[in-house]
Amino acid sequence: MSTVLPTLPLGRKNPLIGDSSSMTDQDSIKSSNITAVESRVTLQDRIKRSGHSGGVLWFTGLSGSGKSTLATELERRLFNIGYNVYVLDGDNVRHGLSSNLGFSPEDRTENIRRIGEVASLFTSAGFIVITAFISPYREDRERARAAASEDFHEVHVKADLSLCESRDPKGLYEKARRGEIPDFTGISAPYEAPQSPEFTIDTGKLDVEKSVTALAEYVAANFIQQQD
């Protein structure tokens, strides 16, 4: 790896402590007997060891737009060249961390709040975390952005509804059209597309290989690696 250190995000807040700029307002913290513990490993220490800064690549897009496919392919590509990288994927998280949540607007909001906080923790650990969630509401994504501070990159995985529906990799659109899935994004629930995402990948125009290459180039430009 090269010796160029990125502009270090040393001023970022400690997500274990939180701060008032986060939309997780203090009133939502239920206990008043909480004292934060400061880590004895600095962000700088972590960057020195891993060779790169951490951050969130927040994939958002319709079901079938390609979030999971691109997240896992990009994870493999980045891992192979030495990045600390980890994918948080919608279905996996819903089997564990968010297993008590459904798809009502309130539950979606809570799901994305949890992912935003977990992604922020991964970032503090020096990881590039790729999140693959429809995350249909702008406000929820903005809250996730606030949790991660300046290390947040919103990536719009873009494909028309008709294309997503023709792909229908999990047969969900067919079920939703039959009325078997309530609150299905794009059919019976809204999708609020990002207005100014840091990066857009149009999977209707690029195949998987080209999409992953474009994403890897974006990462290379924004998470500069250090070489010894």
Q: Which residues bind ligand ADP (CB under 6 A)?
A: 61, 63-70, 132, 167, 169, 203, 206-208, 211
Q: Which is nearer to ligand ADP, 118 or 132 (CB)?
A: 132
Q: Which is nearer to ligand ADP, 89 or 151 (CB)?
A: 89
Considering the candidates 53, 135, 149, 211, report the single residue annotated as catalytic.
135
CB atoms within 10 A of CB 164: 22
Question: What is the Cα–Cα distance from 111 to 89, expressed in whole angstroms?
Answer: 12
CA 151 to chain centre: 11
Tokens 């927040």 correspond to 58
Contact of 64 with 159, CB cutoff 8 Å = yes
Question: What is the Cα–Cα distance from 109 to 154, expressed in whole angstroms?
Answer: 17
Q: Which is nearer to ligand ADP, 77 or 125 (CB)?
A: 77
Q: To the nearest whole angstrom, how small is the minimum distance from the Cβ of residue 206 to ligand ADP?
A: 5
Q: To the nearest whole angstrom, how small is the minimum distance from the Cβ of residue 24 to ligand ADP?
A: 27
Q: Is 50 a catalytic residue?
A: no
200: exposed, middle or buried (Cβ count in 10 Å: 0-12, 13-18, 19+):
middle
Q: To the nearest whole angstrom, how small is the minimum distance from the Cβ of residue 184 to ligand ADP?
A: 12
Q: To the nearest whole angstrom, how small is the minimum distance from the Cβ of residue 199 to ligand ADP?
A: 14
Q: Of 215, 154, 149, which is closest to residue 8 (Cα–Cα)?
A: 149
Q: By Cβ distance, which residue is nearest to ligand ADP?
A: 66
Active site residues: 135
